[in-house]
Amino acid sequence: MKPVILDVDTGLDDACALLLAARHPDLDLKAVTCVGGNVGLDDVVVNTLTVLEAAGRSDVPVAAGAAVPLLQPVRAAPHVHGADGLGNLDWPRSTRTAGAGHAVGLLRDVLRAAAASGELVTLIPLAPMTNIALLLRTYPDAAAGLREIVFMGGAAGIGNATASAEFNIWTDPEAAGIVLSAAGELGVPVTMYGLDVFYDVVISLDQARSLGGSPSAELARKLIEKRSELYRSEGGASIGDGGAVCAVIDPAGLMTQSFPLRVELSGSWSRGRTIVDTRDRSTDLTSDPHGPSPTVVQVATAVDGARYADLWLSTVK
C-alpha cells in the first residue's frame, strides 16, 4: 500500500478524487487536509467529511487549514461546483467536525512519523497550495517524510481561470511558487498533473448510471451527473482531480516529460501561469537573463483516459 495525503478544496472533482483515494486497496490514506478554494473553508471541511463518510472512511484524520491565499482574497468557483461545492446535491451532510489542530500541524506530524518509520508518503495537492507552502517553509524537516508531490494544477499551454492560468495556481500563485522552490531545494520529486490531461479521463453518463448499491457508488453517480449538467455535456464528465490520484495508483497510465517550471507572479494577463520551459537545454541559453528554473518537474503530457476511467469506476463500485 502506498501511503498518501490529500490536500483538498473539496468541490465536485475533489470528491471524485477522495472517493478513489479512500476506497482503493493499494492506497493508505493517512490524512486529508482542507484549504479554501473552490468554496470557502467551512464548506470544504463539511464536503470532505461528507465524502469520506460515503466512502466508509470516517477513520481518516481531517484538518482545516488556510482559509485564504497568502496575498489575495479567496476566489470561489460556484459556477463550476455549485454554491456549496458539491453541486447542491440531495445528499445527507456530515455532522462530524474536523480535528482541533491546524492542517499544517497534521501534515507535519504525519510526515515526521513517516520519516522516522521510513514509510514515505506521497502528497497529492488538489487545491491552491497554501497549506503546502506554509508547511515546507515552516517545517522543512517534514519533507524528509515525502516520497513525492503529485499536484493537480497548472498547464503547459492553456488556462481555465484566465487565458493563461489554471484555477488552483491562479488562486494562490505565491504558494505554488514557494512549493516548487522548496521542493527543488529539499530534493522532493514533483509531478504536475495539469490541464493538458485534466479533461481526458471521462466517465460516460451510461457508465455513471450503472453505479449504485453502496453509498460511495451512489455518490459517484451523482457527482458525474452533476458535473455533466454543470459543464452542459451530454456525453458524461471528467473526473478531473481524480486523475491525479489515478496517476499515483497506476503511474504507467500517465505520460510525462521533465521540464524546468516556474510560476508567473506578476504580469497583467499572465499572473498564475505555469511557465513550462520546453527549450533544448543542451543549447546556449546565456542570452536568457533568468536562466532555466532550478526546479525540474515531471509534467503530464498525455494520459490513457480509458485506463484511468476503468480504474476509477472499478474502485468506486
pLDDT at position 301 = 97
pLDDT at 283 over 80: no
What's the rounded Cα separation, in Å, for the pair 218 and 17?
A: 15
End-to-end CA distance of the chain: 20
129 sits in which H/E element = none
Query: Three-state SS for 31?
Result: strand
pLDDT at position 28 = 98
What is the mean predicted confidence (pLDDT) over 132-138? 98
The structure's pTM equals 0.95
Name which residue leads in pLDDT, 268 or 219: 219
pLDDT at position 296 = 95
Buried b (16+ CB within 10 A) or exposed e, 207-243: bbeebeeeebbebbbbbbbbbbeeeeeeebbbbbbbb
Alpha-carbon distances, residue 312 vs 80, 148, 240, 250, 274 (angstroms): 21, 22, 11, 11, 28
Name which residue leads in pLDDT, 317 or 104: 104
C-alpha cell, 180: 516548487
The domain of 44 spans 2-281+289-316
Q: 76 pLDDT band (50/70/90 cuts)?
A: confident
Contacts by 157-162, CB closer than 8 A, 24 or more apart: 157/196, 157/276, 158/195, 158/196, 159/195, 159/273, 160/195, 161/75, 161/272, 162/269, 162/271, 162/272
CATH of residue 159: 3.90.245.10
Closest alpha carbon to 134 in 171, 102, 110:
102
pLDDT at position 67 = 97
Q: 300 pLDDT band (50/70/90 cuts)?
A: very high
Domain count, the chain: 1
Alpha-carbon distances, residue 280 vs 45, 170, 259, 284, 307 (angstroms): 44, 27, 10, 9, 32
Q: 291 pLDDT band (50/70/90 cuts)?
A: confident
